[in-house]
Structure 1
Amino acid sequence: MDSTGSRLGISLGIIALAAPIVALGLFIGTFAAPVTSAAHSNPLAGLSFYNNPDSTANLAAADAATADPDSAEAATLARMAEQPSAIWLLPEKYPMDTVQADVAAIADAAVAAGQTPVFVIYGIPDRDCGNFSAGGLSETDYPTWVASIATALTLTPSVVILEPDALSLATECGNVDQRVQQIQQGITTFAPTLATVYLDAGHSDWLDPATAADLLNRAGVQNVRGFATNVSNYNDSAAEQAFGEAVSALTNGAHFIVDTSRNGRGGNGEWCNPTGRALGTTPEATTDGGLRDANLWVKEPGESDGTCNNGPAAGEWWNERALELAAAAGW
């Protein structure tokens, strides 16, 4: 595995597939014109992001409270669990026969709470090029699965991050044309929905801005709000700001979001469970009118990146590391 890549620690479990998207018609289209990168108003401003009660952080906090409700560990994990993080949609966890209903239930719960859910679509064929987060669907099933997710989000405002690492890994994996086409198809599928969509652009310690921008432009970033950086990585916010601005300048002013879940001390050149890192800025939309729309916890910070540096399997909750990240951040 290339140490410059931002591999993702995500739980890999049950495998499956979903129903095709229904015809949405001109009525839906009038409600859901895609937000273009040229738009200056921040669609995330003022939003409260959804805190999934079934997140690994919430489950870990509940376990700690049951074991010893007065402990420092329980207090720290409870504080971590209060932070909304993205919901990763993998076909292994959200299979094709249930994904539409599952996502609709999450969206409904978010609406009831007065919050906006953040979803990560992560089921592309040959996901992660066979590395720690290997998996994904077949070429035939993948578009159907994505369409089912889009159907569930047709009339519910949401934030959607499309396929972390897919474009950035494409040059290494030799499948650029295929990845570009798959992302283009995803953009088209989400166009009739109320989702604010961001394509993944890697991060500042991986691709140079010109390469990242070229991939984004080919994939159709002009047809969505913008791009995401630092997903599941550790680079500090200043580095990602500079990277995001440089990429934006080459993508007709596309806006961006930054994963700040574990970037409180910046990176150290490692992407897989590096030691000495810290929690970063908590999730919140920006208010300065700049190109950066929000700091989000895209990666749940207590989840392992993979079986490296003595970590558990990718996506499993790692209590010791979660507490280390919090302590390093001064929590």
Structure 2
Amino acid sequence: MHRADRRHRRLPVRALAAATALLAALTLAPAYAGDLNPSNPLADSGPWPHSTITTAANPEYNNYLAAQRPQRKAAMAEIALTPRMRWFANCSTCNVERIRDTVTKYVADTRRKDPGALVQLAIFGLWPRGEHVNGRRPAMTRNDLIAYKRWIKQLAAGLGNARTAIVLEPDLAISANHGGLSDPTPARRMAATAWSANYLATTLRGEAIYLDAGSADWLTIDNAVRLLSRSGIQHVRGFALGATHYDSVPDNVDYAARLSAALARAGHRAKRGVIDTADNGTPFTWPQWNARWGALYRRTGNKAYAFDNTPTCGSSTEQVCQTIGHQPTWDVVGPEAGKLGLGEQQTALRTQAERYVDAYLWFGRGWRWMQQGGNDSQTPTRMVRMALHSRFDHPTG
């Protein structure tokens, strides 16, 4: 585990105008691509905006707007004003016919009339009844597959010609049938993902699609290669790491390099990764979580201690807890890389990051109850606590 020194920093209180100016500076990517990854589709000068939609789908921004106390508002701004992925879920209560309109509105809000702006989304459609969150693994039926394809087509229509970064099917790694997270119909879910990858890649323009590949502390490289090969990796840019785990960026950089090489040996060349940094500012692995929180969770059944709901850090020195991490950027060895464990002395890791990682993106949602949607009662407090002890710089209000 690679960790830098954790020092508590007091959050400044700024006027909204100052926060907006800072956000503009943070969300503009540098105007050149790295020599080691010249084909990186995320490396250009287009802005990466945050969403300002004030619906239940964006509780982070709503909580920020509603906050009255200046320091609390500033803490919430560190999440609400950071560019991150919105999840679009295919569920039994969702209206397939409305998804196109919903996505169209999200695209317009994010682009702010700038066609070069990056629209970020996670597509989560393989578990339409949501039971996998509670440990149940229902089969994917033929009717589920039909509905899934209709949903994907409508979603793609809503995206149109937008420049997009897409994480396709977070928790796809469940279908690798790894340990106790077995999927009863893995072949059908992988086939559905492969169809979706192909459809989106051939229908959209300006897209960069990354298939979920779990995390460095989840699947072995061989299992990840089998999963991705059966799920359409040949159609897309690459793979996504860390969506629902919290292990360190250096561990995932090394994993991305090894996975890319293994995919090349399997016939899938030049595949690159993106790494989630939304909630691994104080990184830990699943075994480390199990050592600290596992027995308590199993004894009490209290989901406040579940892996998907690991408690937030209460101090700058606490371990095996959640804080927000590195801001989203394609500049993976930028000014704060040393805080990740990718400082100037880490030559090999820095080279791996520049060559095999397209960007750090925020597609995890550790501040939400069980990483799920909606504005549950815990989200505002978790947002504040995750920001208070972060080592990393973010927009503040």
TM-score bracket, shorter-length normalisation: 0.7 to 0.9
SS of equivalent to 2:254: helix
Which of the residues 111, 123, 126 maps onto 1:124?
A: 126
Q: 1:188 maps to which residue?
A: 198
- CA shift, 1:113, in A, is 4.8
Task: Judge which range, 92-101 or 293-302, deviates more.
Answer: 92-101
Q: Is the 8 A contact 2:175 2:189 kept in 1?
A: no
1:322 and 2:383 matched: yes
- In the aligned structure 2, how far is the partner of 1:321 from the partner of 1:196? 31
1:236 and 2:234 matched: no
Q: 1:72 maps to which residue?
A: 71
Q: 1:169 maps to which residue?
A: 175
Question: What do residues 88-110 of structure 1 show as CA deviations (whole Å, max 9, x unaligned)?
Answer: 10134863111111111221233
- CA shift, 1:50, in A, is 3.1
Q: Is the 8 A contact 1:204 1:239 kept in 2?
A: yes
More helix by share: 2
| Structure 1 gaps, min length 5 | 1-38, 307-311
The one-letter code sitting in structure 1 at the alignment partner of 2:370 is: D
- In the aligned structure 2, how far is the partner of 1:104 from the partner of 1:292? 29
The one-letter code sitting in structure 2 at the alignment partner of 1:45 is: A
- In the aligned structure 1, how far is the partner of 2:274 from the partner of 2:232? 17
Q: 2:326 maps to which residue?
A: 281
- In the aligned structure 2, how far is the partner of 1:245 from the partner of 1:75? 37
- In the aligned structure 2, how far is the partner of 1:97 from the partner of 1:300? 26
Max Rg structure: 2
- In the aligned structure 2, how far is the partner of 1:315 from the partner of 1:142? 26
- In the aligned structure 2, how far is the partner of 1:197 from the partner of 1:89? 15
Q: What TM-score do the two structures reach when normalised by structure 2?
A: 0.66
Q: 1:56 maps to which residue?
A: 59
Q: What is the percent sequence identity of the aligned residues? A: 21
Q: 1:90 maps to which residue?
A: 89
| Structure 2 gaps, min length 5 | 1-36, 265-269, 290-306, 312-320, 334-353
- In the aligned structure 2, how far is the partner of 1:209 from the partner of 1:301? 25
- CA shift, 1:254, in A, is 0.8
SS of equivalent to 1:266: coil
Q: What TM-score do the two structures reach when normalised by structure 1?
A: 0.78
Equivalent pairs counted in the alignment come to 284
**Root-mean-square deviation over aligned CA pairs:** 2.6
Q: Is the 8 A contact 1:167 1:180 kept in 2?
A: no
- CA shift, 1:79, in A, is 2.8
Q: Is the 8 A contact 1:226 1:255 kept in 2?
A: yes
